[in-house]
Structure 1
Amino acid sequence: MPDNENHFLKTLPEKQREELLRQGSPSNEMRKKQLLKLKNILVEREKELTDALYSDLGKPAFESFSSEIAVLLNEIDYVCKHINKWNRTRGSRYLKLGYIESLRKKRHPYGSVLVIGSWNYPVQLTLMPVIGAIAGGNSCIIKPSEYAPAVAELLKEIINQVFPLEQLHVVTGDAQTASLLTTAPFDLIFFTGSGQTGKRVADQAAKQLTPVILELGGKNPCILDETGFSAAAVKDIVWGKFINAGQTCIAPDTLFVQRSVYEKTLAEIYTVLSDFYGEQPQTSKDYGRICTEAHFQKVINFIEQGTVQYGGAYDQADRFIAPTVLTDIQPGSSVLEEEIFGPVLPVIPYTDLNSLLSGGSLQRDALTGYIFSTDKHQIGRFNEYMRSSTISVNQVIHHAASPHIAFGGVGQSGYGAYHGKAGFLAFSYEKTSVRTYHYLRFPGKFPPYSERNMKALKKLRKRIL
């Protein structure tokens, strides 16, 4: 990388910070204005964004709008509606012995924020945290994924044309660029991607004591018991698994089916796949493609680890992998241990939930857990078992589009959360101004201390401290 470009990237945070210090924390109206400018970009350039998503991922226009653009538009509307309430100054007073304590609490921006986006939903997962960053009053540098190059270049063009460098700026490049940015003196880093890369980002940020929000992956289990089985339930599960060709961080990763409805479930899955994509899914205009060659090879390796019940076909030149259902998988296989992130659905029979949970087949640290059931006891047992920020009962995917629900990981699936108010809170910190009004002075709090004053302290501690 040329020295001048290296210097430019390194000094970006400082330029943005200087502007924030010069103008002060943006008003609520200024934040809304920036958000509406971003909204106008999404509306006016929708066709170009949709075309770029098709180029990178073969994503159908319906999925592009519903899972990327519409989600962002709804988030902006929600934030603009509530930002005045979230960002108001809150005051309180407390009567103490000898003085009145007055507190004024206000959220403040971190400053210059780095957002590193992901390739699987390259518009939504790049711009959703940017909405939170703007709501929090920050300036932002955006690094889209190089694995979705058409979207990355388009975002660079349309955002850098509309926003000044001191507010928002898109930087494109490969892993070297991302690595250089994570060593720059940002005030907060937001990363979406793999756990392996997330660890490197966190390690680098730790050297500078830069706070980090990590949105990683995980093997989201999906349980279908005999009380929850229906054609509608299977249809939801199949849709959630194979939307975006399975490249969704909250997709049902592995389906665990109660043995009494196992065969019926397999038959219903085949019916739904045929209805969705036809007998030749490669020709379906509603089915996407694998983003990269390396990921294509990884998913093909997963297919070879079990019996292909349905699907299994692939075309490397087209980056096409058919919706595939696997059965008869040996315990310990990587398809059961690693996040699949592709159109391969292992279907595993189980007898009872307690045995399933105690057997170690379900990874607790997931972005979410799914259960289709009407048995409140089973739902409660699953809820207690999972160590994730959400549990979804009788639905998949939809919760992640809601601004009312904080989205984030726990443990191996990351830390920190955003969406809606959670995004505003994640990208700001609380500053408290403390003021005291004395009506009496007590010299006994100063050295030299006495036994008498110690007795008084113990008696009156709630009014003193």
Structure 2
Amino acid sequence: MSREQLAVQRARRSFQTGRTRPLDFRIQQLRRLQSFIKERQRNIKDALQTDLGKSERASELYEILVVEAELHLSITRLAEWAAPRPVEKNLFTLLDEVYVKPEPLGVVLIIGPWNYPWSLTLLPLVGAIAAGNAAILKPSEISSNSSKVIEEFLPLYLDQDLYQVVEGGVPEAQELLKQRFDHIFYTGSTAVGKLVMEAAARHLTPVTLELGGKSPCYIDKNCDVGIACRRITWAKLINCGQTCIAPDFILCEPSVLNRVVEEIKKCIKEFYADSTKTSDDYGRIINQRQFKRIMGLMEGCTIAFGGDADEAQGYIGPTVLKNVTGESKVMQEEIFGPLLPIITVNSVDEAIHFINEREKPLVLYVFSNDNKLIKKVIAETSSGALVANDCVVHFLDSALPFGGVGHSGMGRYRGRHTFDQLSNLRSCMIKQLRMEGLNSMRYPPHTAKKLSWARRFVLSRLNVQRLRNMVMFAMLASLAAFVVQVPALKRIS
């Protein structure tokens, strides 16, 4: 029996004991995960520096802080999320107890990515623990130093039977995918996402696929182009462009093309002083394979700015490309690097047409002072998310469900959305063995009268809270009328 099979069996046996069901146990494990993040920050930051060239502050800002926030939210709101949820009633269920009860799914497989090996691996784990599941964690072998730290230290904090780490590469991932899970949560490329979904189908296992794609960024010529370019430049160059929600390319009118290039150049100097290569805040490409792939994407394009690179250091400088068309090599796949192509369009309608001709993106960005234009883009396009006048920051709001659509993924997570995604939202109805006369309308022989009553009952919807308020109002009105009548009664007597 393989190591992967043993890990899944161990997790399932432990889950079946019911140990994860009490909320106190889940909160205990979440607090231990908090301790792991706090006590192992040095290991985490060193691993990120080695894997991706991330500075200490960048590691804290983009990896650690978001997990800390998710843990705090989950611990403080868990009782509310896990409580039975009342539902709207109709006349048939007026006297019944009907609600939705979240319950654990079972054993969840979490396959993490290499670009954010901590936040995008641990965020789903927070939700899996909060929802009462067991979990198998498979960190990416590409960010090897982070993977080793997770494997070495995480089991020291969490229940080792319920939460296990399987380190390794493609063979280990393939062996894991042969096993039966109750949910698979994968973050990574669309190509691998298809393989994950294919493997999950053999066991009818539901999946959450957090993929990527080419997220467009439209700049309206009448907006504040300087502010727009500052926000776009910041978002594009986080983690050296290796971010699934980074703006992948810009759409703008020819009249503002040169200004956009100059503003981006100005922002790079503002952020990184004289040299991105020597700046602590500018990262590195994960490996040589990715370096060669990104450099190859520039083929056939004009470099408007940048283009410098050092393969030995895994360094590619911020690069703006122009004379780009929809057929250019750089437009055939997600860039996942510090290249920013600019495509000119003559109007917002042409931009919308360009976007709609391609796969639905993970996020669509639009910069404009015109609210009607923003609403037009929302109405006439589809994407996992839409952000107007900023980039990337929607991921920080855990109230917004994060995820893609079509080729950019399926399923949603962050905060309560992760809890719901990794729970069985079980429908519960508790009826009484009485009032059989009322129920007789559903029993044969079926008559026109019975059907008439059934239609009335089934098609009615009742807002129970509103009904309670009406009853309360009626009682208060009756009490007030009684109070008014008492003096008159006394006078009569």
TM-score with structure 1 length normalisation?
Answer: 0.93
SS in 2 for 1:347: strand
Counterpart CA distance in 1 for 2:241 and 2:377 is: 24
Equivalent residue number for residue 137 of structure 1: 132
**Which one of the candidate residues 268, 281, 285 is aligned to 1:290?**
285
Deviation (angstroms), 1:446: 4.3
Equivalent residue number for residue 429 of structure 2: 434
Equivalent residue number for residue 388 of structure 2: 393
Equivalent residue number for residue 198 of structure 1: 193
Asked if the contact 1:92/1:102 (under 8 Å) is kept, the reply is no
Counterpart CA distance in 1 for 2:20 and 2:30 is: 16
SS in 2 for 1:248: coil
> How does 1:83-162 map onto structure 2 within 5 Å?
83-91=78-86, 100-162=95-157
Counterpart CA distance in 1 for 2:191 and 2:175 is: 17
Deviation (angstroms), 1:90: 3.3
SS in 1 for 2:277: helix
Deviation (angstroms), 1:286: 1.5
In the alignment, is residue 52 of structure 1 matched against residue 47 of structure 2?
yes
Asked if the contact 2:384/2:404 (under 8 Å) is kept, the reply is yes
SS in 1 for 2:297: helix
SS in 2 for 1:249: coil
Deviation (angstroms), 1:257: 2.1
**Which one of the candidate residues 448, 451, 461 is aligned to 2:455?**
461
Instruction: State the aligned residue count.
Output: 457
Counterpart CA distance in 1 for 2:89 and 2:218 is: 51
Q: Which runs of 5+ in 1 are unaligned?
A: none
Mark the CA change 1:306 to 1:279 in structure 2 (over 3 Å): closer, same or farther: farther
Equivalent residue number for residue 242 of structure 1: 237
Asked if the contact 2:114/2:142 (under 8 Å) is kept, the reply is yes
SS in 2 for 1:432: strand
Mark the CA change 1:55 to 1:458 in structure 2 (over 3 Å): closer, same or farther: same
Deviations 1:41-72 (A, max 9, x none): 11111121011001000112221111100011
**Which one of the candidate residues 213, 218, 236 is aligned to 1:218?**
213
SS in 1 for 2:369: coil
> How does 1:16-35 map onto structure 2 within 5 Å?
16-35=11-30
Asked if the contact 1:93/1:100 (under 8 Å) is kept, the reply is no
Counterpart CA distance in 1 for 2:39 and 2:64 is: 11
Deviation (angstroms), 1:93: 8.9
Deviations 1:181-232 (A, max 9, x none): 1111111100000000000000010011111110000111011112223322
In the alignment, is residue 81 of structure 1 matched against residue 63 of structure 2?
no
Equivalent residue number for residue 252 of structure 2: 257
Mark the CA change 1:301 to 1:324 in structure 2 (over 3 Å): closer, same or farther: same
Deviation (angstroms), 1:275: 2.3
Equivalent residue number for residue 167 of structure 1: 162
Asked if the contact 1:14/1:185 (under 8 Å) is kept, the reply is no
Counterpart CA distance in 2 for 1:198 and 1:421 is: 24
Tell me how large the CA RMSD over aligned residues is: 2.1
Deviation (angstroms), 1:310: 1.2
Matched to 2:107, the amino acid is S
Mark the CA change 1:360 to 1:141 in structure 2 (over 3 Å): closer, same or farther: closer
Counterpart CA distance in 2 for 1:99 and 1:31 is: 35
Deviation (angstroms), 1:362: 6.5
Deviation (angstroms), 1:459: 3.5
Q: Percent identity?
A: 34
Counterpart CA distance in 1 for 2:254 and 2:48 is: 40
> How does 1:331-342 map onto structure 2 within 5 Å?
331-342=326-337
Deviation (angstroms), 1:260: 2.6
Deviation (angstroms), 1:92: 6.2
Counterpart CA distance in 2 for 1:349 and 1:105 is: 50
Asked if the contact 2:359/2:407 (under 8 Å) is kept, the reply is no
Counterpart CA distance in 1 for 2:85 and 2:235 is: 42
Counterpart CA distance in 2 for 1:214 and 1:93 is: 31
Matched to 2:161, the amino acid is E
Mark the CA change 1:30 to 1:280 in structure 2 (over 3 Å): closer, same or farther: same
Counterpart CA distance in 1 for 2:399 and 2:152 is: 31
Asked if the contact 1:214/1:415 (under 8 Å) is kept, the reply is yes
SS in 1 for 2:96: strand
Matched to 1:221, the amino acid is P
Asked if the contact 2:384/2:408 (under 8 Å) is kept, the reply is no
Asked if the contact 1:221/1:362 (under 8 Å) is kept, the reply is no
Counterpart CA distance in 1 for 2:248 and 2:93 is: 61
Q: Which deviates more from structure 2 when the two are superposed, residues 114-123 or residues 90-99? A: 90-99
